[in-house]
Amino acid sequence: MSTESDIREFLSSRRAKITPQQAGLPAFGGNRRVPGLRREEVALLAGVSIDYYVRLERGRLAGASEEVLDAVAGALQLDDAERAHLYDLARAAAKRPTRRARRPRGPLPDSVLRVLNSLTGCPAFLSNGRLDILAANPLCRALYSPLYADGAREPVNIARFQFLDPAGRDFFPRWEEMVHTTVSLLRTEAGRAPGDTELTGLIGELVTRSEVFRTAWAQHNVRLHHTGRKTFHHPAVGEITLDFDTMELPAQPGLTLTALSAPPHTPDHDRLQLLATWSATEEASPSADASALTDRRT
């Protein structure tokens, strides 16, 4: 998709979500052709002319000032992720560099890998905006073992596994909930990096092969995803819910470090310890049978 069409569909989809009552406007007339605000109402709220707002919504954000973008974001009641996405789209329309330089290809720094592998008590991994897992500590590889099944191409990609691998629905028991999160994260990254050909290829593959992804992608939702909870159904330890925290690495633009943990003295913490035992067993004997550990679940 072109930047202009992304802008047009993003702004029109946000406009459709805001009713006149939510915007503090009187709902004149009962025969409205659109579910949300009209273009002229957004223009009024943003303090710009109707013609100028129509031009913006047609994808012509190049040259729009920060003041105008802020006014439009306020009129549409955009959240932080949506506001940042609007700015990213404006930069793409103006063909200006993104606010986050792209990380050049090359090996991951040894210092970062040392930090990653020092986190022995919790699963942790390094990823990029395409949701590729670029490196993972042993406990994380154990947790995400279904993604590393025989024949999996590396780096493994969370979105590709979730939407295209039949095992994805089993591994992520809250699969429907994750659909919106994953698609929103990829949509956010697409705004940040419109020239990323690998991202474009991934999205094209998912749109082509997954109707669920295609439908969710058309909603133009974006989000920030720094902390929360994830639930997995692991083949050896059963269902486990972990807290996650994601940290950007300023020295490695585009990379994030995600660590998962469980509160002490909880069933999930016990399962995490069981997972560590299973991981050590697998490393010692790749042919080890997980059924013995499965019988020890608490």
83 plus 114 within the same structural domain: no
Q: What was the pLDDT predicted at 27?
A: 63
- Cα gap 192→254, rounded to integer Å: 10
Tell me whether residue 69 is in a domain: yes
Q: What is the pLDDT of residue 290?
A: 44
pLDDT above 80 (res 65):
yes
Residue 140 shares a structural domain with residue 251? yes
**Residue 193 contacts residue 199 (beta carbons within 8 Å):** yes
Residues in CB range of 232: below 8 A, 6 or more apart: 143, 171, 172, 173, 239, 240, 241, 242
Residue-level pLDDT at 293: 44
CATH assignment at residue 160: 3.30.450.180
52-56, 62-66, 104-108, 200-204 — which is least confidently predicted? 104-108
Is a pLDDT exceeding 50 seen at residue 22?
A: yes
Residue 232's nearest CA partner among 241, 223, 224 is 241
Residues 82 and 187 in one domain: no
CATH (domain of 7): 1.10.260.40
Please indicate, yes or no, if residue 103 is contained in any of the structural domains: no
CA distance 248 to 138: 21
CB 136 within 8 A of CB 115: no
Looking at the fold, whether 255 and 141 belong to one and the same domain comes out as yes
Q: Is residue 288 scored above 50 in pLDDT?
A: no
- Is residue 13 domain-shared with residue 144, that is, in the same domain? no
Q: Which two tokens stand for residue 263?
A: 């509160």
Does some domain include residue 64? yes
Q: Are residues 179 and 263 part of one domain?
A: yes
Q: What percent of the chain has pLDDT over 90?
A: 74
Residue 218 counted as domain residue: yes
Same domain, 49 and 168: no
Q: Reply yes or no on whether the pLDDT at 48 is more than 70.
A: yes
Domain count across the chain:
2
Q: Is the pLDDT of residue 35 over 80?
A: no
Whether 116 and 249 map to the same domain: the answer is yes
pTM over 0.85: yes
* Contact (CB, 8 A) for 5 and 66: no
Contact 182, 131 (CB under 8 A): yes
pLDDT tens digits for range 132-167 = 999 999 999 999 999 998 777 889 999 999 999 999
Please report, for residues 9, 18, 33, 76, the alpha-carbon distance to residue 41 in angstroms, rounded to integers and kept in the order given: 18, 11, 13, 10
